[in-house]
């Protein structure tokens, strides 16, 4: 009985929701997703402000097994919408980014001595 009471008294520190018995210590799932989106937005905004003087790249590694979960897609969409709403933000593929770099920064690439 005391174990059940202990689990029922565990609450998310952000929203106060009850945490399920098998939840790790910390935030509930909705608050964890919100915190993740907030972190991405803060990182983006920092890079965006630095980009006023020089271009910046924010790379997101999205493994299909992780981001492909239905409950995570909304959080990703929220972040992409946030970034896309800013002026002069580009979402290139790897190939597009490499082609742009080769065209604009060839002097940064050492000659092939081999």
Per-residue pLDDT of the chain (114 residues; tens, 9 = 90+): 555 555 457 899 999 999 988 777 788 888 988 999 999 999 999 999 999 888 899 998 888 888 888 888 999 999 999 999 999 999 999 999 999 988 888 777 777 655
The model's pTM is 0.76
Quote the CA–CA distance of 28 and 18 in Å, as a whole number: 8
Quote the CA–CA distance of 44 and 48 in Å, as a whole number: 6
Judge contact between 32 and 26, C-beta under 8 A: yes
């Amino acid at each position: 009985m005391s174990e059940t009471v202990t689990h029922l008294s565990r609450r998310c520190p952000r929203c106060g929701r009850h945490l399920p018995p098998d939840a790790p210590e910390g935030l509930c799932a909705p608050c964890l997703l919100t915190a993740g989106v907030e972190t991405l937005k803060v990182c983006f905004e920092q890079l965006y402000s630095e980009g006023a003087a020089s271009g910046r790249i924010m790379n997101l590694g999205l493994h299909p097994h992780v981001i492909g979960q239905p409950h995570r897609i909304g959080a990703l969409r929220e972040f992409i919408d946030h970034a896309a709403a800013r002026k002069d933000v580009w979402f290139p593929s790897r190939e597009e980014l490499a082609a742009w770099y080769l065209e604009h920064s060839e002097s940064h690439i050492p000659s092939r001595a081999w």
